[in-house]
Structure 1
């Protein structure tokens, strides 16, 4: 269960683009640019700063607001999972204090449904 929670945290923080917790950073983009010749993976320079283009698997702010609002309105049966809506902060669009069982339920059953409309099918298929 705890290994699954670690995998969930890595995938979820990358999709949510949480600074400091995402695995998608400038070093990774530089390696991808070096080894892969795909459109959209290149770094670019803006006013002397090296920037990365947003990946297809990262949710923008409107999609993130939609996803968090959907999660707060979600109702689950008693004993199925704890109240996941209490783990969501709508002000800064973040998740916190999820137990390993909550992560299991979320990753196995809720994530494919919640991200179905927000991510491209190829990326959703790889995540789920």
Structure 2
């Protein structure tokens, strides 16, 4: 509800108070295994640099080791898990971290429905599969 200003979280505390409003789409209530998710209404190939920085800021702010992009998937593309790198190209010691990841997780949109009713039926099935997949990942 970020357009209405509801659900705002403070990013920083300063000597003058708190500042830097952020609006994560989803924050789990499990403080031991916190996850955050950001919804993007654009194709997976358009999720990039600024989006990465945004979800990483949310993850850092809420001590989350797992972050997700949720997006409408218009292909059969599988989820893409990306592990955060550590090290520096200057020292030539870049390696993937196993403890921090961001996953692009798509909700498949039916493309070849024969009718509106068929589209709705298939979308409800896809939503159910998406939810199970997402809940299953959260438990890992």
Higher Cα Rg: structure 1 or 2?
2
Same fold (TM over 0.5): no
In which range does the TM-score fall when normalised by the shorter chain?
Answer: 0.3 to 0.5
Greater relative CO (CA pairs within 8 A, separation 6+) = 1
More strand, by proportion: 2
More helix, by proportion: 1
Q: TM-score w.r.t. structure 2 length?
A: 0.32
Q: TM-score w.r.t. structure 1 length?
A: 0.34
